């Protein structure tokens, strides 16, 4: 490319406070998603009680439909929002996501009939499908490189705060009181996002150069004619001209580009390891797993401890991501997951053979896994994929990858009980250890570091330092 990328987007000049505020605002959609993800657990007891707001106690079958409908809808939601974000912009996509989230809570307030609850969860799922695609993209495109990783880590932090808050509220507040509290979050998101800027990269793509320049100046708190801003605009304009000369971007075109193809394969392997690392199964079926390990744990303590540990891990990850980079964090956390699963699988196996094991050990193993998952395995693939791909293909590629991630998560959740019953829980847990080993090796050996680098520099790293990007 003709324009030098040296420090084009990483200048520390200016004030990043506006970038922090806008990133936090966009991530309130993840806060609401956390509310929705955590809603089923504390409300199951209420909905299955004699005083159920549905008018009768819901069956386990009905509860399973309410719970699983989110994942099913999210698979379709990714494609929907991949189209919206590329056609109408990142800001519009976030507004629609927040509107669907508000609609979900409003429907639950209006009726607790099983059909209404399922439709509300489908709305939630459509929005969730966009959360892990649109928000990382938007945050990446409004952020300068030296804080990009920290702001990208908000996605898991806000989700975990939402889960913890919902568990706490669900344990002590009335069914409808909880709904009245959380419904205002997406409403406020919509009101405030109307004032938020559109992504500069999308504005350049639309040919709105002056608006993109003003937006970057607003976000960086710099003058419009500042060299840092001009370098960033020149870089995006140059990329736009380069990729306008290419045929229409399709998945075939993307896979014909060597750097993009290698990048997609790397992220695909990483996402496969992430979604099959044991997260949904461990968190959803932890009581059954702990029972297999001979542990009886206080349900309320279990409910609140997991998201609390996840929030702690998110804060630690945020403080380390820019200092140490993405590659070491994801490699170390996958390694921690290997250890946790190996210990847990061994304990369950020994228990099945009638041997005694300390009751605290499986609890420590699960808490360790939850910690490393929230601290790196969960967030890093989304941060890396948002940084790795050019803005011209980012929406399409991330849409496909996140759709795949949701499908794999649904598959893992749906198959865990049947496979565990057939092969034994310890066998499944050992398989998770093997998958995490694969993730650790990919992160350590194959994955390029993306911290503080432009897309062009990352593509050069993927191809090899002495090769040229086509």
Does the residue 6 lie in any domain? no
Of 211, 244, 277, which marks where a domain is finished?
244
Does the residue 7 lie in any domain? no
Please give the average per-residue pLDDT across 112-121, as a whole number: 91
- DSSP code of residue 208: -
Distance CA 207, CA 34 (A): 36
Composition of the chain by helix, strand, coil, percent to 5: 80, 0, 20
Please determine, for residue 100, whether its predicted confidence score (pLDDT) is greater than 90: yes
444-467 pLDDT tens trace: 988 888 887 878 888 888 887 544
How many domains, the chain?
A: 2
Which range among 175-184, 262-271, 283-292, 326-335 shows the weakest confidence by mean pLDDT?
A: 283-292
CB atoms within 10 A of CB 17: 10
16-39 pLDDT tens trace: 889 999 999 999 999 999 999 888
What is the domain range of residue 86? 17-244
Same domain, 172 and 309: no
Which range among 126-130, 331-335, 352-356 shows the weakest confidence by mean pLDDT?
A: 352-356
Does the residue 5 lie in any domain? no
Same domain, 240 and 265: no
Same domain, 308 and 445: yes
Which range among 124-128, 268-272, 283-287, 337-341 shows the weakest confidence by mean pLDDT?
A: 283-287
The model's pTM is 0.74
Does the residue 400 lie in any domain? yes
231-266 pLDDT tens trace: 888 888 877 777 666 666 777 778 888 888 888 999
Of 204, 220, 244, which marks where a domain is finished?
244
Does the residue 470 lie in any domain? no
Q: Report H helices in 293-379.
A: 299-324, 326-352, 360-372
Same domain, 86 and 223: yes
The set of residues, in sequence order, having a beta carbon less than 8 Å from that of 29 and lying 6+ positions away, is: 94, 97, 98, 101, 127, 131, 135, 186, 189
- Mean pLDDT score across all residues of the chain: 82
Distance CA 57, CA 434 (A): 41
Same domain, 214 and 256: no
- Cβ(462)–Cβ(448) under 8 Å? yes
Of 228, 244, 260, which marks where a domain is finished?
244
Same domain, 235 and 268: no
268-314 pLDDT tens trace: 999 999 988 887 667 655 655 666 555 565 555 566 777 788 888 88
Same domain, 275 and 408: yes
Please determine, for residue 153, whether its predicted confidence score (pLDDT) is greater than 60: yes
Does the residue 468 lie in any domain? no
Q: What is the CATH number of the domain that holds 434?
A: 1.20.1250.20
Instruction: Phi first, then psi: give them for residue 56, nearest 5 degrees.
Output: -155, 155
Distance CA 469, CA 462 (A): 9
Same domain, 187 and 160: yes
Same domain, 275 and 238: no
**DSSP of 95-132, one letter per residue?**
HHHHHHHHHHHHHHHH---HHHHHHHHHHHHHHHHHHH
Same domain, 343 and 431: yes
Please give the average per-residue pLDDT across 130-139, as a whole number: 87
Same domain, 234 and 256: no
Does the residue 1 lie in any domain? no
Does the residue 10 lie in any domain? no
The set of residues, in sequence order, having a beta carbon less than 8 Å from that of 422 and lying 6+ positions away, is: none
Same domain, 201 and 297: no
């Amino acid at each position: 490319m003709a324009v030098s990328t040296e420090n084009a987007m990483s200048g520390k000049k200016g004030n990043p406070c506006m970038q922090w505020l806008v990133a936090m605002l966009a991530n309130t959609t993840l806060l609401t998603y956390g509310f929705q993800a955590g809603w089923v657990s504390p409300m199951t007891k209420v909905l299955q009680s004699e005083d159920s707001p549905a008018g009768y106690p819901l069956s386990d079958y009905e509860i399973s439909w309410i719970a699983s409908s989110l994942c099913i809808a999210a698979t379709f939601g990714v494609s929907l929002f991949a189209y919206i974000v590329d056609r109408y912009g990142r800001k519009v996509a976030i507004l629609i996501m927040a509107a669907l989230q508000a609609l979900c809570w409003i429907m639950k307030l209006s009726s607790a009939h099983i059909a209404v609850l399922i439709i509300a969860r489908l709305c939630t799922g459509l929005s969730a499908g966009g959360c892990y695609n649109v928000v990382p993209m938007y945050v990446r495109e409004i952020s300068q490189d030296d804080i990009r990783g920290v702001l990208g880590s908000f996605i898991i932090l806000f989700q975990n705060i939402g889960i913890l808050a919902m568990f706490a509220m669900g344990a002590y507040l009335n069914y409808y009181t909880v709904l009245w509290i959380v419904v205002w979050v997406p409403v406020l998101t919509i009101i405030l996002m109307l004032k938020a800027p559109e992504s500069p990269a999308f504005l350049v793509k639309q040919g709105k150069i002056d608006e993109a320049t003003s937006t970057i100046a607003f976000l960086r708190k710099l003058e419009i004619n500042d060299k840092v801003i001009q370098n960033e605009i020149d870089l995006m304009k140059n990329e736009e001209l380069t990729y306008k000369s290419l045929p229409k971007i399709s998945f075939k075109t993307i896979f014909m580009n060597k750097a993009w193809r290698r990048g997609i394969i790397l992220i695909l392997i990483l996402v496969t390891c992430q979604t099959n690392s044991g997260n949904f199964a461990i968190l959803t079926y932890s009581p059954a797993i702990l029972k297999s390990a001979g542990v009886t744990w206080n349900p309320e303590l279990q409910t609140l401890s997991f998201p609390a540990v996840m929030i702690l891990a998110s804060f630690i990850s945020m403080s380390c991501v820019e200092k140490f980079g993405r590659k070491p964090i994801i490699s170390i956390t996958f390694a921690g997951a290997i250890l946790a699963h190996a210990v847990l699988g061994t304990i369950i196996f020994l228990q099945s053979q009638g041997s005694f094991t300390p009751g605290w050990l499986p609890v420590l193993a699960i808490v360790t896994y939850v910690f490393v998952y929230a601290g790196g395995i969960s967030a890093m693939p989304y941060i890396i994929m948002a940084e790795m791909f050019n803005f011209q293909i980012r929406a399409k590629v991330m849409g496909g990858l996140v759709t795949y991630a949701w499908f794999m998560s649904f598959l893992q959740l749906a198959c865990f009980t049947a496979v565990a019953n057939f092969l034994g829980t310890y066998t499944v847990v050992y398989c998770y250890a093997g998958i995490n080993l694969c993730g650790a090796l990919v992160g350590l050996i194959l994955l390029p570091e993306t911290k503080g680098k432009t897309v062009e520099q990352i593509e050069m790293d993927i191809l090899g330092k002495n090769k040229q990007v086509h």
